[in-house]
With several copies, the nearest count.
Chain A
């Protein structure tokens, strides 16, 4: 399983606005938030969650086994390393704007220690049937079911989940891969998980222009038994522009990284391509 139902989460950066706000929403949804970490604020209680100065203390006191990070970008590398050192797994990094060198170092250290990083710049992960979310997604648009979603974009994941839920297509697990150019878990790794997950019958991949992860994933998809439906954002964006997400740089002359190329490669391995987010629902109904 990507996340055990006994997951006990520590919130790094709990005393910030976003950290505190989403801690309460996650708890209300059902997630066990057992501790917060905020250097210098140790010993306090924030909305009944004990706050510690270090992750080590939080883990010793509460047996936390996963982490979600809201720490400002400048300090984030250190926070990720701190979680990895304490073997928290997964480490969900919400923060955006982390220097790419910092992310790179953290991802390699996580691989060395066999820890999964989700993000950075991710909405996180949600398992509707278990009422667990480690993330910032609006949970009411997600319903229990057997569709897995992996998305490079947060809001687009919500959009598509909302459409699915409305048509009675609930979700097993939804994972935001993170919008940064370098992230922890790749689309391929997440698809591998879905292929093995007993609760998942079909997968939605939400891609976008830039990078090669969708193309790379086609190698795995070719071997997968479960059907994959994809939506790729950015068909109507002119080449040579970069759209907000650092990940969304699109290619020029040779076609790599463009929506067109991604759609071509994915189609060639049997992926159904949705013309719009709404289309995803119809295509899914065809394949399951």
Chain B
């Protein structure tokens, strides 16, 4: 959602928030993890404890707020945030939340925190503007609500400072936008250092987003991160081994399997399985099948330079969807070698029974070798995408009405 802020004028919204849970590229940290990082960088957070059981919890800072630790968005509206006024209520609430799911996500941990006496809610964040190829610091005096709502309701309230990645983000850069959201005097220095620290975290954790929302001023004049969100670039996880286990937990079994095997798979509503190499080609294949009246059952990208084993895994995944009534494999060999693909198809064919239509089209690197392998095993190879798309649509339709 944060991306919506970058170009509110053009209303370009990327619903990152909706997809990050099952995205291929971005890992989201739980609130308690994000707050732990924040406090290690000197940012104040409410007193709190995280727990995965209601049994032994002792927390003296009442009244409290009890928050389900989930990665889906809109947790508050979905009942994931409760209040409790004493230890008994805390226990009961923790127990309750641990027994529920929020928007389909099972609650495994709960964060219990002191309830803050809030004077004002701000928004502070650093994110990546992919179009401008640079980080941008964001601040608003209208925190608390979803930032996309701020962007729609009062876009002028969102102050931005673009950051030259070679120059960095200095306290004087941060000070400018902190001032722009109405923070003055001594508070200016403290809040500036919070925003500077967010950028340090952003760089050191290879983040796509580091956000405090709401960043609250309490009635007694303290500033704290009441909620926090950190999204980390999956590609950087080799530098952040501590999240290796966690990233696995964030994916469903099929997602994890495909991810581990370097296959990109997204289920769709139709009945024609699509496998190709390269996201653009697979999307074009889907478009073309649609153009000829077919309904693709999935998006499945083998990526570059797939081995025969990866091909076998991909066919397996596509067939795991029982709606699939035919498969179209579309290969444009570059870094991918057609012979490897052909070997995979043949090995799959030789070990598993394929009783539904199978259309193969392959062109490019080692095309002749690949074609020979297929044809010598009785699988015809079509030369053009259009021809192949038409054929799979016809075969599946025939099959369906037989």
Contacts and interface: CB of A to CB of B under 8 A. Distances in A.
Given A252-B15, A278-B384, A105 B166 contact: yes
Looking at A40, A79, A82, A235, the one whose CB has the most chain B CB atoms below 10 A away is A40
Contacts of B192: 39
A248 interface: yes
Interface of A: 18, 22, 25, 39-43, 53-57, 73-74, 78-79, 81-82, 85, 94, 96-102, 104-105, 107-109, 112, 123, 136-138, 141, 151-159, 162-163, 179, 181-182, 206, 208-213, 216, 231, 233-246, 248-257, 275-278
Interface string B233-274: 101101100000000000000000000000010101000000
Interface stretch (B44-52, B86-94, B99-107, B332-340): B332-340
B353 interface: no
Contacts of A42: 179, 184, 188
Looking at A158, A159, A209, A249, the one whose CB has the most chain B CB atoms below 10 A away is A159
A278 B363 contact: no
Interface stretch (B30-38, B116-124, B218-226, B285-293): B285-293
A243 B335 contact: no
11 contacts: A94-B335, A154-B332, A155-B280, A181-B130, A182-B128, A209-B283, A241-B266, A246-B25, A251-B15, A254-B11, A276-B291
B165 A243 contact: no
B131 interface: yes
B179 A54 contact: yes
B96 interface: no
Contacts of B279: 153, 179, 208, 233, 243-245, 248
Given A108-B164, A244-B279, A252 B290 contact: no
Contacts of A99: 206, 233, 235-236, 239
Given A53-B179, A100-B236, A154-B278, 4 more contacts: A53-B175, A100-B235, A123-B334, A155-B278
Contact of B175 (A39, A256, A276): A39
Contact of B233 (A74, A101, A238): A101
Nearest to B196: A78
A275 to B, nearest CB: 6
B352 to A, nearest CB: 25
Contacts of B187: 40
Given A123-B334, A209-B283, A237-B286, A100 B305 contact: no
B43 interface: no
B215 interface: no
Contacts of B128: 100, 104, 182
Contacts of B14: 210, 249-252, 256-257
B133 A182 contact: yes
Contacts of A53: 175, 179, 188
Contacts of A73: 235, 238
Nearest to B202: A101
B210 to A, nearest CB: 12
A48 B299 CA distance: 42
Interface stretch (B16-24, B60-68, B342-350): B16-24
A236 B281 contact: no
A15 to B, nearest CB: 12
A7 B34 CA distance: 48
A68 B345 CA distance: 32
B326 interface: no
Nearest to B338: A138
Nearest to B190: A40
B25 A159 contact: no
A235 B290 contact: yes
B287 A179 contact: no
A40 B186 contact: yes
A278 B172 CA distance: 46
